[in-house]
Each structure stands twice: as structure tokens, then as C-alpha cells.
A and B are shown apart, each in its own frame.
Chain A
Amino acid sequence: MTGQEFDRRGFLKSAVVVGAAAASAATIASPEVAQAEAPAAATPSAGPDAADYAFFNLDEAAFIEALVDHMIPADEVSPKGTDLGVNVYIDRALAGSWGKGDRLYMQGPWKQGAPSQGYQLPLTPAQLYRAGIAATNAHCLKAYGKTFDRIEGAQREEVLISLSTGKISFDNGLPVRVFWTTLYQTVIEGMFSDPIYGGNRNKAGWAIIGFPGIIAVHRDHVEQYRGKPFPTKPLGISDMS
């Protein structure tokens, strides 16, 4: 599976090079080449095509897909992270107003401050994410000779433990724990927010925990189901719109 995603990225990157070369070498790019190769890009059906991303570039897309599938593996509890659309949720969040720093006080001067003073970086969430992925991949290259999406599962586990405990530091100076906190929070959001935001596909995140979603009327249920499991098929906003 990792190989399959690698292939897709490899193809898309080379296609861009070919396209650019064709555009500069001739006045008309060869439509045959693009058509002949196109089905290969569409083959991996799990998760969206890289071309669907609004924020992530190819390296970042490979990183986030590997990350969410590692943190949320397919098992008897739920489908894997990309099948839940967690990567899509994160991409949309970063491309949107939150990612661009909506509601974030962005005036300097910028100081590190104490942990009790909260977030103090001069970065929007999107900028933080971009720098954090690059720094994590730089760490992986140094430690394993490959980027995060190409290392083994056990190595990915090691990287995530290092990020979450702050055991490593990034060469670019980005505070590891600040990046991790944002990364983790957005994975959780992608798993449990309403499906209108692109994650929690088929409400599978809610189904894991038996959360009924937006079902609103529990007035009679309080007594009826006190101490008993509440049979539920979760509903989201679009189910009632």
C-alpha cells in the first residue's frame, strides 16, 4: 500500500516534469501522453486523488496520508484514516480561514514566552503545518534516509513518539511540541467533526464510540436508556438539511 502511494506520487511528479518540458519545447503539449497516463493516477481508489487537495503539495499529501493511516489504522474498530477522510479534513481546514489565521492575534513583537502564555509563533496554522511537515521529513531523512511516508511502520511509530514527547528538536527551530499539538488536534477533528467538513466519512468516527451525532431530542431517552446502550445510527448535519 505504501508502495502504491509512492508510485502515485512518483507518477504525478514526473508527469509535471514532462508537462513542463513539453510546454517549453513545443507550442502544443501532447494530449496523447496525458490521456495515456491518466488512468494510472485514478487507479488508487482509497482516499482522494492528490489533485483534490486544496492546500497540500505532493510531499505534504504523502506525509499526511501516511500519518493518518498510521495513527488510525484499519482494524476491527474502524476503516483507516484516509478512508475516514481525515487527510481531506485537514487539507480543507488548512486551506480555509482557520488555516489562514482567522481569529488569531498576529501582531508582534514576537517572543517565545513561557508555556503558560500559550501559542506565540508568528505563523498561521497553515504555515506552522507546512514548516512542521518539512522539519519532520528532514528529521526522517537524517535518521532513516527516507521521508516519513517511505519509512517502515515501526519507524513511523518511533517518529510519532519523538514528536509527542518532544524528544527530538527540529533543525529549522520550530518547537516540536507546538507542531505536534496542532497535528494531533487536527487528526482528532478530522475523525470526530461533522462530515460536512470532509472528515468522519460516513460518520464512521462517531460510530466507533456510539455517538449519535446531531440527534437532538433525548428528553424521553434519559429515563428510557438510563444505564442501557442507546441504539444509534449517527446523523450528521447534511442528513437533516
Chain B
Amino acid sequence: MTTKLREVDVVIVGLGWTGGILSKELAEAGLKVVALERGAPRSSESDYSLPNIRDELRYVVRHDLMQNTARDTITVRNNPQQEALPMRRLGSFLPGEVVGGSGVHWSGHTWRWTDMEFKIRSNYEERYGKKFIPDDMTIQDWGISYAELEPYYDKFEYTAAVSGKAGNIGGRIQAGGNPFEAPRTRDYPLPPLTPILASEMFTDAARNAGYHPFPRPSANASQPYTNPDGAKFGGCQYCGYCQRFGCEANAKGSPHMTVIPIAMRNPNFELRTHSWVTKVLKDSDGKRVTGVTYTNVLNGEEFEQPANIVLLCAYAINNVHLMLLSGLGQPYDPVAQTGVIGKNYCYQTGAAATLFFEGKYFNPFMNAGGSNATIDDFNTNWAFDRAPLNFVGGYNLSGGFNTPLPIGYRPVPSGTPQWGSDWKRATAKWYQTAMVINASGSVMANRYNCYDLDPTYRNAFGQPLMRMTFDYRDNEHKMGRHAAQIVNDIAKSMNPTRLNAASARTDPWTVVPYQSTHNTGGTIMGTNPRDSAVNRYLQSWDCHNLFVVGANVFPHNSSYNPTGPVGALAYWTADAIRNRYVKNPGPLVQA
């Protein structure tokens, strides 16, 4: 039996960064907002506090803050000919499952994606001709411009306490910043983090090679900070426990200590935790949605929450899953190339080298989530000519560390035994005296990389699991080879005692080990309903009172972390709803 509740103005599914931003903004606009979060309420004060938060086994290895795959997971395969099987535990990516979502356990890397992405097809066709883009590469322009999004990037950076150095303010290139970034109206709210030895050495090597290194912009407060909403940040302690952990110092910009508590103080807002949304309900004419059905996972009781506006703000994969489960929009068919829901799933790729320097102490346990130095010369730089290399997209390179805690990170030179005294000696010798150079690469959309519902496997609610079909294509392999070569050239120029060289990946994508929680696409944005699920305001083309917010709207994936545009688009959508949609409900863009 389903209990039907009283109608509210807005129901929000999922309370991470996007749900948190929209909750705060829409409650402030006078709308009655209910947020439904499947996970538990957790706070910095009681859950992310010392000493218990410093537990690699619990948070990194056992996934304490992550989606529980016993209850809901996805099935995976590399191509449509293969039988998809369930991802029986998490590995390659880690969706969060608490109040704050993945915004609790991210590292804080915050990038501004530019027109290089938003106008990708136009850009490449104009520069290299239509034939440069392979037939099965289903990239498309996003229907939005950097200039339109700039104020919202700014808003997100100041909300999340991003530390960094501007490279381009109003068209003037700034020394020490990223010269390839798009113009910004002002600098970051906080100066860059203190560099660690590894980032300094990478910076010197990159500069000597003629590249343009800069400190990675990151929502790790380089000093104590109060954001424009009054949320207070402590200064980053460089504790080394950043990615996968909540921050005990409240130095990492996270929704649970910024937008969510502000929304909670607003009487227009109500949060219901342990609330698992199973379906979005469609009106009989199919032009509107009427609310959602959810289950209280503490007792199994089912509710219907009617609402004037439904916002899907769950993790990118789960937003697409809900669309498919609810029969919203036409499911994508990769053979006929019809439909849109599930289209253009993308991921990321990379290549990494480990450099060993005898007697040099990097102290890898002292670092912030964003301590690494970066170059964008092979990414947002059009002077990097793709024509001779014949690939679309790019990669950014960084030097430093990524969660260098000892269960997961114990670098030894290739050829070292895996156990015994020699292994122990090598582990003891190199843990502190190694560093990593990493390339993170874009993945272009391909017609066969997509989502649909699995025909066999079901979740704890008896619903079909989401099926993911994904593999890397020639485009990514070509880019990977180039990236590995540049990584190795820089690494060799640093004269390490030993080098585990980078190599381009050639194997199929696999669900283990961890790669990145940057899953994009599935309900992509665009300029018309034939090849996109939502318009430029993330509004469903089919049901005008349904908005789908998150990286699931990205038509392809860049080399950057996605949270910058995810946060900016949440603010952009909030503005469109409060200033335009509420006054005149209906499509914000005519199909």
C-alpha cells in the first residue's frame, strides 16, 4: 500500500552538490521543497571527526561512504555482443550514498569546462573538416556557451572555497595561472595551496620542456574562509586523507557543510533521509510528471510524493536509471540510432608513470586533494594540433599524488618481488621517495557506448538493474599513446633513479581497479529533442516540469573533473526555474 502525501512545489531526488544547491536556491525563492536522500544523515562533527575518520580500510577499501552494491548496482559489458554481468562490488567508480553524496568524498578538483567542449563538433569541423570526426563518434554541441555559464562557475567556486591561481582575467593572461583557460571575471576566492616537493619538481620539469604548469584549482581551502552564504571553512591541513573521506577540518568544499545546512535552516525546506526513489510518476497526457514514489528503507513503507516540479539530482548513473525505470523519454537504440535516454555514456582514460628518486623525501602523506601541479598544453590549447595525431579531445597532465595511503599505494620499481624480504626492503625504501605523473584523458561519445535496462538482473526493489555498455575506441587509444609518450618524456627529463614508465592502455575497460568517478552522459543536453534528452536548462524535452541535473547531461567527457560544470549548471538551472519557469511553467526552449 502506498501512502499519498500532500503535494509540494518541488521534490528533489538525491542530496549531493546539485540537490543541495537547488534546495537552497529554490527554498530561498519561496518554494516548498522536499529532498529525498537514499543515504543516512552524516555530519563533519560526529562522522568525519578525529580520530576515526583516518581509517583507510573503512573508507577507501570498504567504501563506507559509497553506494551499497548489495542493494543496487549496474551490469557491465564492453560491447553489445557480450552478455552483461553485475558489478558485484564497487571498483572503477564510487558513487556516494550519504547526505552530501559524492561531494563529501571528492578531492575538490574544480575546473571550468570551456567552449572547446560546449561547441566540440562545430570546433573540430571548422578546424579539421567534417571527415575528421569518425562516423560512430556521436559528439554534439551542448547548446550552451562558456560566456553564459561564467557567472555560475564563479558562484560555485566562491561557494566551494576553490584555491587556485587565475590564468586569464578578462582576457589578460596572468603569470603562474593556466594561460589556456577561458577568461574569468575575477580570481579564485583563495590563493593556491602550498606546493609539495613533487608538484614543484613537476612544475620545473614542465617549464623546462616549454609547457605551462600551474597549481591545480581545488576546493581545498588554502586558508580559513567564509563563503558568500556564511558557511565557514577551516584551512586545509594537508592530512593526506582527502579523496574517499569527509573532511574533519571543514576545509574541503562539500554540500553537507555549505548549501545543505543553509537550506535546512529555511522553513520551506524538508529533508527525508533513507528515502529511496523508485519511480517518477507521469501524468496521463505524458506532458508533465506528477511526483515520485519512494520507499523508506528503514521499514519498507512506500510513499507517493506529489510535486509541481521534479528535480533528479542523484548520481549521474542513477538519474539515467530513474528515467529508464519511469518510462520517461524514448530509450536510446544504438542499432537504429533512435531515442535519446541512455545515449552517449562516456568515461575517462589515462596513463601514469612512477618516478623513483633515491634519497629524495616527498613525504607523500602530506598533501591536499589538489596539491598536484598541472599542465593543459595538450588539453584546452588549440595550438596543440590534433591533425597529425588524428584524435579528438585532449588530456591534462599532473605531478604529485592521489590518495597515497599505504594499503593502496606502495610503489616499487618494476621487477620487484611481490612478497618476502626483498619486497619489504623495496617498499621501505621507495614509499617516501617516489612520485607520480598522471595523464587524465577525455573520452568521446560513441554510438555503442550507452545505457539501457538489464534484461536479467534486478535490484533490492525488484527493478531491472541499469546495463552499461562501454569500451575505449581508436580515438582514445591514439590519445593514450600520445599521453604516455609525453608523460615519459617529462619523467625522463627529471632523471629519476628508476622509472616505471607510462604505457597506453590497450585492454578493454574493466570494472576493477578504481579509475575515476567521472561517469557522464545518458540524458544529454542539446539543441533539439531528436538528439538530446534535456534542453540547455536541463529541462526534459518531454515533460516540462522535470529537470535532470548532473554530469548525466554532458554529451561527452573532457579530461577535466566534472564537478565545476556540474555545480555551475545547478546554479544556472536554479536561476532558470526561479526567474522564468515558476512565472510561466512550460518549455523554456521551444522544440
Q: Is B86 an interface residue (CB 8 A)?
A: yes
Q: Is the Cβ of B428 less than 8 Å from the Cβ of A222?
A: no
A55-63, A134-142, A207-215: which lies at the interface:
A207-215
Q: Which of B73, B89, B407, B427 contacts A189 (CB under 8 A)?
A: B407
For the complex of A and B, 3 pairs with smallest distance between CB atoms: A214-B54, A209-B431, A240-B51
Inter-chain CA distance A71–B423, complex, in Å, is 9
Chain A residues near B237 (CB-CB < 8 A): 216-219
Within 77-112 of B, Cβ neighbours of A (below 8 Å) are at 77-78, 82-83, 85-91
The B interface, classified by DSSP as helix, strand, loop or mixed, is loop
Interchain nearest-CB distance for A106 vs B (Å): 7
Chain A residues near B457 (CB-CB < 8 A): 107
Q: Is the Cβ of A241 less than 8 Å from the Cβ of B238?
A: no
Q: Is the Cβ of A119 less than 8 Å from the Cβ of B88?
A: yes
Q: Is the Cβ of B509 less than 8 Å from the Cβ of A116?
A: yes
Centre residue among A77, A213, A230 by max chain B CB count within 10 A: A77
Chain A residues near B82 (CB-CB < 8 A): 114
Q: Is the Cβ of A111 less than 8 Å from the Cβ of B194?
A: no
A27-35, A144-152, A191-199: which lies at the interface:
A191-199
Q: Which of A118, A222, A228, A241 contacts B361 (CB under 8 A)?
A: A228
Inter-chain CA distance A189–B62, complex, in Å, is 11
Interchain nearest-CB distance for B85 vs A (Å): 4
Q: Is the Cβ of B361 less than 8 Å from the Cβ of A71?
A: no
Within 176-197 of A, Cβ neighbours of B (below 8 Å) are at 184, 187-189, 192-194, 197
Chain B residues near A111 (CB-CB < 8 A): 83, 85
B115-123, B259-267, B414-422: which lies at the interface:
B414-422
Q: Which of A105, A210, A237 contacts B86 (CB under 8 A)?
A: A105
Chain B residues near A167 (CB-CB < 8 A): none
Q: Is A225 an interface residue (CB 8 A)?
A: yes
Q: Please, what's the 1-or-0 string for B216-247, where 1 marks a CB less than 8 Å from any CB in chain A? A: 00000000000000000001111111000000
Q: Which of B78, B87, B239 contacts A118 (CB under 8 A)?
A: B87
What are 22 A-B contacts defined by CB distance under 8 Å? A105-B88, A113-B83, A114-B508, A118-B76, A118-B512, A120-B85, A193-B407, A208-B428, A209-B427, A209-B428, A210-B432, A212-B365, A217-B237, A218-B240, A221-B238, A225-B366, A226-B197, A230-B365, A230-B366, A237-B52, A237-B54, A237-B55
B69 (CB) vs chain A CBs: closest residue = A105
Chain A residues near B55 (CB-CB < 8 A): 194, 237
- Contacts between chains A and B (CB distance < 8 A), count: 177
Inter-chain CA distance A209–B418, complex, in Å, is 16
Q: Is B209 an interface residue (CB 8 A)?
A: no
Interchain nearest-CB distance for A203 vs B (Å): 11
Q: Is B425 an interface residue (CB 8 A)?
A: yes
Chain B residues near A38 (CB-CB < 8 A): none
Inter-chain CA distance A188–B54, complex, in Å, is 18
Q: Which of A105, A109, A216 contacts B89 (CB under 8 A)?
A: A105
Q: Is A115 an interface residue (CB 8 A)?
A: yes
Q: Is the Cβ of A208 less than 8 Å from the Cβ of B239?
A: no
Q: Is the Cβ of A102 less than 8 Å from the Cβ of B70?
A: yes
> Please, how many residues of chain B have a CB less than 8 angstroms from a CB on the other chain?
67
Inter-chain CA distance A221–B88, complex, in Å, is 41
Q: Is the Cβ of B88 less than 8 Å from the Cβ of A222?
A: no
Q: Is B456 an interface residue (CB 8 A)?
A: yes
A97 (CB) vs chain B CBs: closest residue = B62
Q: Is B50 an interface residue (CB 8 A)?
A: yes
Within 344-363 of B, Cβ neighbours of A (below 8 Å) are at 360-363
Inter-chain CA distance A107–B150, complex, in Å, is 47
Q: Is A85 an interface residue (CB 8 A)?
A: no
Q: Which of B57, B418, B458 contacts A107 (CB under 8 A)?
A: B458
Chain B residues near A129 (CB-CB < 8 A): none
Chain A residues near B406 (CB-CB < 8 A): 192, 205-206, 209, 211
Inter-chain CA distance A160–B423, complex, in Å, is 14
Q: Is the Cβ of A216 less than 8 Å from the Cβ of B508?
A: no
Chain B residues near A193 (CB-CB < 8 A): 56-57, 61, 407
Inter-chain CA distance A103–B69, complex, in Å, is 5
Q: Is the Cβ of B418 less than 8 Å from the Cβ of A164?
A: yes
Interchain nearest-CB distance for B386 vs A (Å): 28
Chain A residues near B511 (CB-CB < 8 A): 116-118
Q: Is the Cβ of B407 less than 8 Å from the Cβ of A116?
A: no
Q: Is the Cβ of B56 less than 8 Å from the Cβ of A222?
A: no
Enumerate chain B interface residues (CB-CB to A < 8 A): 50-52, 54-57, 61-63, 68-70, 73, 76-78, 82-83, 85-91, 194, 196-197, 200, 235-241, 248, 360-363, 365-366, 405-407, 410, 418-421, 424-425, 427-428, 431-432, 456-458, 507-512
Interchain nearest-CB distance for A28 vs B (Å): 46
Q: Please, what's the 1-or-0 string for A93-135, where 1 marks a CB less than 8 Å from any CB in chain B? A: 0000010011111110101011111111000000000000000
Q: Is A229 an interface residue (CB 8 A)?
A: yes
Inter-chain CA distance A87–B405, complex, in Å, is 21
Interchain nearest-CB distance for B159 vs A (Å): 23
B66 (CB) vs chain A CBs: closest residue = A103
Inter-chain CA distance A95–B366, complex, in Å, is 34
> Taking A209-B428, A213-B54, A221-B238 as contacts, is the C-beta distance between A106 and B70 under 8 angstroms?
yes
Q: Is the Cβ of B407 less than 8 Å from the Cβ of A118?
A: no
Inter-chain CA distance A228–B238, complex, in Å, is 16
Q: Is the Cβ of A77 less than 8 Å from the Cβ of B421?
A: yes
Chain A residues near B407 (CB-CB < 8 A): 188-189, 192-193
Q: Is the Cβ of B456 less than 8 Å from the Cβ of A211?
A: no
Chain B residues near A228 (CB-CB < 8 A): 361
Interchain nearest-CB distance for A154 vs B (Å): 12
Inter-chain CA distance A230–B364, complex, in Å, is 11
A75 (CB) vs chain B CBs: closest residue = B421
Chain A residues near B424 (CB-CB < 8 A): 72, 75, 77-78, 208
Chain B residues near A77 (CB-CB < 8 A): 421, 424-425, 428
Chain B residues near A212 (CB-CB < 8 A): 365
Q: Is the Cβ of A103 less than 8 Å from the Cβ of B428?
A: no
Inter-chain CA distance A43–B406, complex, in Å, is 34
Interchain nearest-CB distance for B534 vs A (Å): 30
Chain B residues near A197 (CB-CB < 8 A): 57
Q: Is A223 an interface residue (CB 8 A)?
A: yes
Inter-chain CA distance A214–B492, complex, in Å, is 34
Chain B residues near A78 (CB-CB < 8 A): 424
> Taking A194-B56, A230-B361 as contacts, is the C-beta distance between A216 and B421 under 8 angstroms?
no
Q: Which of B52, B87, B197 contacts A105 (CB under 8 A)?
A: B87
Q: Is the Cβ of B510 less than 8 Å from the Cβ of A118?
A: yes
Chain A residues near B197 (CB-CB < 8 A): 226-227
Inter-chain CA distance A106–B196, complex, in Å, is 44
Inter-chain CA distance A107–B431, complex, in Å, is 40
Inter-chain CA distance A197–B61, complex, in Å, is 13
Centre residue among A105, A113, A223 by max chain B CB count within 10 A: A105
Chain B residues near A107 (CB-CB < 8 A): 86, 457-458
Chain A residues near B241 (CB-CB < 8 A): 216
Interchain nearest-CB distance for B332 vs A (Å): 22
Q: Is the Cβ of A229 less than 8 Å from the Cβ of B361?
A: yes
B91 (CB) vs chain A CBs: closest residue = A118
Q: Is A70 an interface residue (CB 8 A)?
A: yes
